[in-house]
Structure formats: C-alpha cells, structure tokens
Chains A and B, each alone.
Chain A
C-alpha cells in the first residue's frame, strides 16, 4: 500500500480538462466582448474600438475561408471576391445607387442596408455555387481549384475596375455612410451591430460543423475517395459549403463597406483572398475560433510593429516588407505547426483543474449536446478492473 509517485501516475487523474469548461469560456468571451467596450468607453478610445470592430469583420471573412479550407479541404484564393460582392452591393445601396436611377430613395436608414446585404449575399452565393458546380462537374479539384479561384479573383478585380458607372472604377465607392447611426456614439453602435452579426455567424458555423452535414464534410477533407465510397455525394457537399462560406464572406464585406467608408478593387482582388489564407493558417484551420485568433494576431502584430519599425524605414517600405515576413511565417506554420495557434490552445485546454462535483455535473450537462458521441462500452473498458487495485 505504498503511495509513491508511480502509483500516483496510475491513479485516475482528478480534475477536469480546461477544454471541457467550454461553456464557461464561451460565455466569458462573449461577456467580455459586450462589456469591455461599454465599461471602458471614452471619446479618445475610438481608435481602439474601431480596431476591434475591424478585427471582428476580417475574422468573419477568415471564418468563411476556414469552412472551405479547414472543413471542406478546398483551398480558395477567391474569398475576396465574395467579400467584395457583399461590400460593393452594400456600398452601392448605401450611397443611394437606387436613388439615382429610380428617383426615389428607399428608406436609407433601414431598407438600403437590407437591400445591400440581400443583393450582396445573393450575388456571392450564386457566383460560388456556379463556380463550384462547374469545377467539380469537370473534376477540377485540389490545387487546380485554387487556381480557378485565383483566376476568379483576378477577373473580378478587372471587372470592377472596368465597370466604372456602378463600381467607381479604380477609386471604388467612397463616402459610404454608417449603418443605423445611433448618435452620439456611432462607433459604439456600429461595434455592436458587427458583434451581433459575428456571433450569429459563428454560432451557425459551430452548429453546422457539428451536424451530420459537417461530419460528412470533415470526412471529405480527410479522404475524398473514402467519403464517396460510404455513400456521400462529395461534389454536392463541397459545392454547398462553398456557397455557405460565400454568404458569410459577403456578410463580412457588407459590414466592411460602411465601417471602412469606402470599397475599392483591392478588396475584391487576390490581395484580400491571399492574406486571409495566412490568417487562417496561423490561427489554425479546422477549428473556427482559429480564424479569429489568427486574424487578430497578425493584424495586431502588424499594426503595433509598424510603430516600432517606423523610425528605421518609410511607411511604404514597411508596407512592402510585411507581406514578405508573413509569407515566411505562413510557410513555417504550414510546414511545422499545421494546427497553428489552436494547437497551443488545445494543449492548454488539456490542462486539468480541480472542480467541485456539482459544477462538474452541470458542465457535463452543458457539454452533452456538443460532445462527440462515445460508445458507452468503451468508456467502461478504459476504467481499470477493480480487482487489480492493491
């Protein structure tokens, strides 16, 4: 009956992995995102607040790529096109695109944003479904699919530059008004509109990847031939998720246009589609949350490092150095840490913390809906037989 370190290691480990506290984590994160701006709000913090708003919008775009890449297993360089479709449509309606042609404005406070959002999402989804249908019908997959989406991005940018009457050509659409202006704090109201949209989209994606459809998608990412051989229409599933992701990217674009005040061809082109790839890779693909972590990290580092290196080089030089740096980081992450920052998050999530029994039971209940179904008999098989204890 000695209790040395050896027998300690064999004893069933007490405590709950941090990962299982997910309901608490989620609630805490949401509360922070809601309360922090409210509590700390001061006039001179507009810049920080807008930075956060921007992160949420870009994170939403990254989320759309994570669905396609992290779950569908397709590399898309064209998420910027869907983002741009949402952005341009919203910008067009908010700047009175209808007014010029019909002569009578729809209620600019309510109807214009709804029209902008609806048309933008519809445009993006139709485009995405069309491209995916054509690609998968002619068995274009893998790297070739990435090239097709790259071509799409280049074409879309050219189209936008050429179609001046609607898109404003090279200058894009400028002076886009804010959404639902609630004075005297338009920045704050904008932040909460964006936050609500992001939380809703994130929740939908969470449900989606846990669902039957999401499980099939994950199987397709893992092994397309096998997924098809157990009876699932691989092309249909891939086409559908590409459409869903396009809708989310368009939503991000529609939020971005009034936030940024202008949209221009850069937002629709390859530049946007490529940088998102880096965010998702660094955050970790296939986790949803990683998309936001990667976006935040890269943008934050880039922004504050610019201050630090500013004395040593001009802004123009700094701007051309960043893609180089992030390109190398991208390569490093892909080759060495395919799980990105989420790998780290999960390692921390495996740490165990002691919890009172009542709280533990409540957690088990809250986790129940989300937890991976485990065969009961297996759980039994893993507990050591009672007779073997000394």
Chain B
C-alpha cells in the first residue's frame, strides 16, 4: 500500500517563550523508514511526544490512517496502532523479559483489564510476546529479569515491548543511543527487517548519521523547531543548508 500513514499539519509547541516546535508539517509514507534528524535542541523528541500524545500541542493536527488522533490521550494512541520506544530505556525492571512483552501484548487481548481472567501460556498474547522477543533476538533471555539484561539488550527489549502491542507505525527515539558498534549493526538490521519482513512503517529519531543515511527512505531535518530540509539520504547529504545547520555558517 502506498500513501501516507501519518500526517502532521502545522504542529506547534511552546514552552513558555521558547517555541520548541514551530509550524512543522510531516508526512510519513506507509512501509518506509523515515528519519528525523537535527542538531541538539532541534525539537525532534518534542515532535515525537506530540505525535504520540505524550504532550498536548499548542496548534496543528495529527492524522493517523485518516483519523484525527491529535485529541486522544497518550494511552489510546497505542490502541490506534502506534508503538513507541524511548530515548531513555523504559522497561519493567522487576519483571521477567517475557512478562515485559507479554503485558504489552495483553493490550490487544479480549478483556485486557479483566480482574477475572488469568493469563496463560496458551493465550494468543503469549505467542505475540514470544515472537516479539524472537524478532529482536531476546528469546533466549525470556526467563531472566529485565534489570539484569545489558544496556544493549534493554534497548532491544524496549523495542520488543513496542512491537508486542502490534503497531503499524513504530516510533523509535534514538534506538542506538549508548550501543556498541556490534549492537548498532544489530539494531540497523532490526529496523530493516521491520520494514521488509513485517511491512511496518518506522519513524526514527537518530543521532547516528551513518545509520540514518543507510536505512532511511526519507529524512526530515529539523532545525530550531522548523523543518529545514526533507528528502532522500542523497539529497540531504548534498544539502548546503543542512551542513550549515550542523556545522555553522562557515562550513
């Protein structure tokens, strides 16, 4: 399927006098990897938080698969089909790796909040959870507590939790932050497989420019809360405005 899965129009967010996100338009096409890059403080994470409802915007609309989701509270966005990972790893430390993803998969199960229904190994949610662990390569760690996993494994678990909610659009906030070279390669491979094998759309905030250039279909460059440039990796690489934003006007 071709066409936009997510469309943001005139998105604006102010923190007091600071305009963190200023009239940003963003169009994410189905089954693509779309990256948001920009220097520190460009407003990338704020855009993310506006898209997934964690912050209320001061203007603009967000449409997901044709539905206006700008008004929905944070927890409802997941049910619409948007999963997200966090810049600072967010897992459930005291639970097993498996329970971390199982409880996420529970969100798509019938009677997901029922006080009478006890989860069982035969639930479809358990299969979803196990598959999410397999995709990120944590299946053999399933019975370990999440807090004894390495940093890299916890980053992967963060993604697996988002996957277990069965999203069609995945928002990844700096998935490679703090990862070793080998782990970055794994994460790159993972993002590629999400698009090619699972037909997922991925919106990525990332600092690792090499990674972004390798895996993105479209790159949007934010600078001081505005969209500076948008295009294919090659177009961005050749853009003079982007080079100036990153390196200063003398570059």
Is B76 in contact with A377, judged by CB distance below 8 angstroms?
no
Interface pair B139/A231, CB less than 8 Å apart: no
Contact A213/B143 with A219-B92, A231-B165 known, Cβ cut-off 8 Å: no
- The answer on a CB contact under 8 Å between B99 and A214 is no
Kindly report which residue of chain A lies nearest to residue B112, judged by CB atoms.
A212
Given contacts A212-B115, A216-B113, contact A228 B94 (CB under 8 A): no
Report B37 CB to chain A, min CB distance, Å. Answer: 23
Q: Which residues of A contact B140 (CB under 8 A)?
A: 378, 381
B4 to chain A, nearest CB (A): 23
**Is the pair B130, A375 in contact by a Cβ cutoff of 8 Å?**
yes
In whole angstroms, what is the CA distance A370 to B83 when docked?
30
How far is it, in angstroms, between the C-alpha of A373 and the C-alpha of B91 when the chains are bound?
19
CB of B189 within 8 A of chain A? no
Interface residue A104 (Cβ < 8 Å from any Cβ of B)? no
Q: Which of A163-171, A189-197, A232-240, A271-279 contacts B (4 or more CB under 8 A)?
A: A232-240
| Contact between chains at A215 and B126 (CB < 8 Å) | no
- B121 touching A376, Cβ below 8 Å: yes
Q: Roughly how many angstroms separate A194 CA and B107 CA in the complex, as a whole number? A: 38
Tell me if B165 and A230 are in contact (CB < 8 A). yes
Establish whether residues A374 and B98, one from each chain, have CB atoms under 8 Å apart when the complex forms.
Answer: yes
Whether B92 lies near A373 (C-beta < 8 A) is no
Q: How far is the CB of A382 from chain B (nearest CB, A)?
A: 8
- Are B115 and A208 neighbours in the complex by a CB distance under 8 Å? yes
Chain A's nearest CB lies how many Å from the CB of B107?
Answer: 4
Is A229 a contact partner of B74 (Cβ separation < 8 A)? yes
A210 in the interface (beta carbon within 8 A) = yes
Q: List residues of chain A with CB within 8 A of the CB of B164.
A: 230
Q: Please, what's the 1-or-0 string for B41-84, where 1 marks a CB less than 8 Å from any CB in chain A?
A: 00000000000101000000000000000000111101100011
Whole-angstrom CA separation of A223 from B103 in the bound complex: 12
Is the CB–CB distance between A211 and B93 below 8 Å? Answer: no
Q: Say yes or no: is A45 at the interface (Cβ < 8 Å to chain B).
A: no
* B95 touches which of A219, A225, A375 (Cβ 8 Å): A219
Interface residue range, chain A: 35 or more
State how many angstroms separate the Cβ of A23 from the closest Cβ of chain B.
16
Q: Mark A125-154, 1 if CB is under 8 A from B, else 0.
A: 000000000000000000000000000000
Q: Is there contact, CB below 8 Å, between A212 and B109?
A: yes
Asked whether A218 is an interface residue with its Cβ less than 8 Å from the other chain, the reply is yes
Chain A interface main SS type = helix
| Least Cβ–Cβ distance between B154 and chain A, in angstroms | 12
Q: Is the CB of B118 within 8 A of A222?
A: no
Q: Assess whether A207 is in contact with B93, with CB atoms less than 8 Å apart.
A: no
Question: A372 interface residue, CB < 8 Å from B?
Answer: yes
Docked-complex contact A233 and B75, CB < 8 angstroms:
yes
With a CB–CB cut-off of 8 A, which chain A residues contact B95?
Answer: 218-219, 222
A275–B203 CA distance with the chains assembled, in angstroms: 50
Given A230-B107, A231-B165, A215-B119 contact (CB < 8 Å): yes
Whether, in the assembled complex, A226 has its beta carbon less than 8 Å from a beta carbon of chain B, the answer is yes
Q: For chain B residues 100-154, which have a beta carbon within 8 Å of chain A?
A: 102-104, 106-107, 109, 111-123, 126, 129-130, 133, 139-140, 142-143
A376 to B117, CA, bound (A): 21
Q: A216-B106, A230-B165 are in contact. Are A373 and B90 (CB under 8 A)?
A: no
The reply on A369 being an interface residue by CB < 8 A is yes
Whole-angstrom CA separation of A372 from B112 in the bound complex? 17
Contacts of B224 in A (CB 8 A): none
In the complex, what's the smallest C-beta–C-beta distance from A145 to chain B, in angstroms?
A: 19
A226 interface neighbour in B52, B92, B98, B109, Cβ under 8 Å: B92
- What are 11 residue pairs bridging A and B, where the CB atoms are less than 8 Å apart in the complex? A216-B113, A226-B91, A226-B92, A229-B78, A230-B103, A230-B161, A230-B164, A230-B165, A375-B130, A376-B121, A378-B139
Beyond known contacts A218-B103, A227-B103, A374-B142: 20 more, CB 8 A cutoff:
A212-B106, A212-B112, A212-B118, A222-B92, A223-B91, A225-B86, A226-B92, A229-B52, A229-B162, A230-B78, A230-B162, A230-B165, A231-B78, A232-B113, A373-B98, A374-B143, A375-B121, A375-B129, A375-B130, A378-B139
